[in-house]
Amino acid sequence: MYDLILKGGRIYDGSGLPSFNGDVAIRDGKIAAIGRISEAAERVLDVGGLAVAPGIIDFHTHFDAQLWWDPLASSSNEHGVTTVVTGNCGLTLAPCKPEDRDALIGTFVRVEAMPRQSLQAGIPWQWSTHGEYLTALERKPLGVNVATLIGHCAVRQYAMGEASVEREARDGEIAAMEELVRQGMAAGAFGFSTNSNQSHFREDGRPVPSRFSSLNEIARLCRVVGESQRGLVQFTHGAFATPEHVAHISQWYDTILQETRRPLIGESIRHRWSEPELWRKQLRDVEARARQGCAAYAMTSTRRSMRRWSLKDGGRLDMIPAWKKLSALPLAERMAKLRDANLRAELAQETVEGDPIDFSRRWDLIAVKTVARKENRSLAGMSIAAIASAQNKSPIDAMLDLALAENLETTFEDSTTQGDEQAVKEIFANPNVLLGQSDAGAHVASGNPGFGYATLMLAYWVRERKLMALEDAIKKLTFLPASIFGIHDRGLLRRGLAADIFVFDPAKIDLAAPQKVTDLPEGAPRFTQGAKGIYYTIVNGKVLMDNGAHSGAYPGRVLRSR
């Protein structure tokens, strides 16, 4: 007798091997059998025609605070996520002395754009050490599994107080930090995170504590991680601002890898029109370290940064001189000019030719987002290039004829990042690149929240754009992060491993529209985002999400590295 059987699904087991049809049986929270199963179970779910995959492991979240008031880690729970990793970017809520609580809150408020009043009201502060944080979290019913990193900023604040945002550490202070990292790793953290991003400040305008770390300090702390023979280091450094910062980052990479001999997740790689070759250089850097035998990884985002605009507001195209001249004109005059054939020729040329800017310069990558008139409804969602070809016009005529017919109220959309599919394909396919940079729990006011990065991957990049096989995408979202973090009992569907599973329809999975809600402590607003086409999320053998609704169960656990 099994507890639960998933009957008749197509199994994507996380390894990247070809998918196959079969049943999955679960007993005592673990996968008990995979294949043709005829035994009985307390509950049988018919998953015929659906995909059965390991639960998503979201390895870059900032749920450190949110879990205390929202143990489901919403909206990640709606996207098949079964494990979240907290403590990224050098920021954690433990270790922490009572007198430093406000300072740690200040790092989250500024770097991660979370409302102070919610953090003040919502964090119960039942801990001082990292181990006590884990134990306190363990006493809470949790929807998803939680693995933690130890944040350098918290460690530094604990050892040095406010001197942590003023100067380099003295020998004794580094020794105290070593002890904090040693204790945290012994308690079961999955590694250490640090941050030298030059745009990361505390709420009071001071750089975050880890930015004052010397190379010696980072070396000694990383040596402790290495000695634990577990976990990894996550390193946030932001854009390469100056030659000095480039050299600094490079030294930190070498030191972290040398001292730990553990995996390192650093670099965030995205295609950007404004710097169209940067991603290649970043990939080459990661590959060079990998060739030397270092477990160096980068991450990328499946989300594209989108811009929505109309020719009524102007603005978006103002970096192109011919367009900029127009947007200064009153509306009627602007519309009159836009009918001029000579000006159209000039606009067309300047739009597609010239130096790289924060814009694709490609008609096939500008889409009509919304139309103002009923008769144009069929054009919504089409690219300018596609409309031009359907109407047998030049792209500039297609765009301007439509916009003029709608008093310039047509809205258009284009992307500033991840817009070049060939680049995205190479980035996603690279074995040293992890998919997912959700920042879930942070940047709460963003209308393009990161919870659904895996859903977007499976819906857009795999189904619509066919950039990668579904098997490979599932592997990248599950087995890869599980392996790199050392969460060895998850991330694969195998007999004996934890039954963390999500069931979805590859033909229907998609993002729902983002929603503004006011469910943070003290009624602060944030954006949530659900999913379509995800039917079951199972955590440690129990159904957590049933057709998008919480089952009422809290099967999540605090994971400890062992």
DSSP 74: T
Does position 264 interact with Zn ion (CB under 5 A)? The reply is no
Strands 501-504 and 534-539: antiparallel
Q: Examine residue 301 and tell whether it contacts Zn ion (CB under 5 A).
A: no
**What is the pattern of x (binds Zn ion, CB under 5 A) and - over residues 163-192?**
------------------------------
Q: Which is nearer to Zn ion, 26 or 232 (CB)?
A: 232
Residue 17, helix vs strand vs coil? coil
Instruction: Compute the least distance from the CB of residue 4 to Zn ion, in Å.
Output: 35
Residues 6+ apart with CB under 8 A from 19: 10, 11, 12, 13, 51, 470, 471
Report, in Å, the least distance between residue 210 CB and Zn ion.
13
Residue 89 CB, shortest distance to Zn ion, in Å, is 4
Task: Judge contact between 110 and 62, C-beta under 8 A.
Answer: no
Q: How far is the CB of 441 from Zn ion (least distance, A)?
A: 9
The interface mask with Zn ion, positions 421-450, x = CB under 5 A, is: ------------------x-----------
Instruction: Please report, as a single letter, which amino acid is at residue 6.
Output: L
Min CB(189)–Zn ion separation in Å: 17
**Nearer residue to Zn ion within complex by CB, 114 or 142:** 114
Pick the closer one to Zn ion by CB: 100 or 439. 439
For the beta carbon of residue 432, count every other beta carbon within 10 angstroms: 17
Give the whole-angstrom CA distance, residue 56 versus residue 451.
11
User: Of 82 and 194, which has the nearer Cβ to Zn ion?
Assistant: 194
CB-CB contact of 449 with 514 (8 Å): yes
Minimal distance, residue 18 CB to Zn ion, in Å: 34
Are the CB atoms for 218 and 249 separated by under 8 Å? no
Residue among 26 and 454 whose Cβ is closer to Zn ion = 454
* Closest to Zn ion by CB, 89 or 256: 89
Question: Positive or negative CA dihedral for 350, 355, 357, 362?
Answer: positive
Nearer to Zn ion, 236 or 529 (CB): 236
Name residue 387's amino acid: I
- Token digits of residue 231: 């976990």
Residue 451 identity? F
Closer to Zn ion at the Cβ: 351 or 438? 438
Q: Is 88 in the site for Zn ion (CB under 5 A)?
A: yes
The residue with its CB nearest to Zn ion is 89
Q: Considering beta carbons, is residue 56 or 85 the nearer one to Zn ion?
A: 85
Is the bond preceding 506 in cis, omega lying within 30 degrees of 0?
A: no
Whichever of 92 and 351 has its CB closer to Zn ion, that residue is 92
Q: What is the dihedral of CA 279, 282, 284, 285, to 10 degrees?
A: 180
Q: By C-beta, is 19 or 157 nearer to Zn ion? A: 157
Q: Specify whether the CB–CB gap between 174 and 121 falls below 8 A.
A: no
Q: How far is the CB of 90 from Zn ion (least distance, A)?
A: 9
**Residue 76 C-beta: closest distance to Zn ion, Å:** 14
Mapped onto helix, strand or coil, the DSSP state of residue 425 is helix
The distance of closest approach from Cβ of residue 139 to Zn ion in the complex, given in angstroms and rounded to an integer, is 26
CB-wise, 88 or 213, nearer to Zn ion?
88
Q: How far is the CB of 557 from Zn ion (least distance, A)?
A: 23
Residues facing residue 370 across a β-bridge = 411
User: Which range in 81-89, 174-182, 274-282, 454-462 contacts Zn ion by CB under 5 A?
Assistant: 81-89
Asked if 193 is part of the footprint of Zn ion (rule: CB under 5 A), the reply reads: no
- The span from the CA of 377 to the CA of 404, in Å, is 15
State the binding string over 317-346 for Zn ion (x if CB under 5 A, else -). ------------------------------
Q: Do 286 and 253 form a contact (C-beta atoms < 8 A)?
A: no
**Least distance in angstroms from the C-beta of 440 to Zn ion:** 10
Closer Cβ to Zn ion, 88 or 411, answer by number:
88
**Using the rule CB under 5 A, is 89 a contact of Zn ion?**
yes
Shortest approach of Zn ion to residue 257 CB, angstroms? 20
Rounded-to-integer distance, Cα 423 and Cα 2, Å: 46
Residue 67 near residue 81, CB atoms below 8 Å: no
In single-letter form, the type of residue at position 548 comes to G
Task: Indicate the pairing of strand 150-151 with strand 191-195.
Answer: parallel
- Chain centre distance of CA 501: 20
Binding residue count for Zn ion, defined by CB under 5 A: 3
Stretch that binds Zn ion, among 87-95, 250-258, 376-384, 492-500 (CB under 5 A): 87-95
CB 305 within 8 A of CB 402: no
Min dist CB 73 to Zn ion, Å, is 15
Residue 276 has which token pair?
Answer: 């169209």
Question: Number of helices (H) and strands (E), helices first, in the chain?
Answer: 18, 25
> Do 224 and 181 contact (CB within 8 A), yes or no?
yes
Task: Show the binding pattern over residues 27-46: x = contacts Zn ion (CB under 5 A), - = does not.
Answer: --------------------
> Rule CB under 5 A: which residues touch Zn ion?
88-89, 439
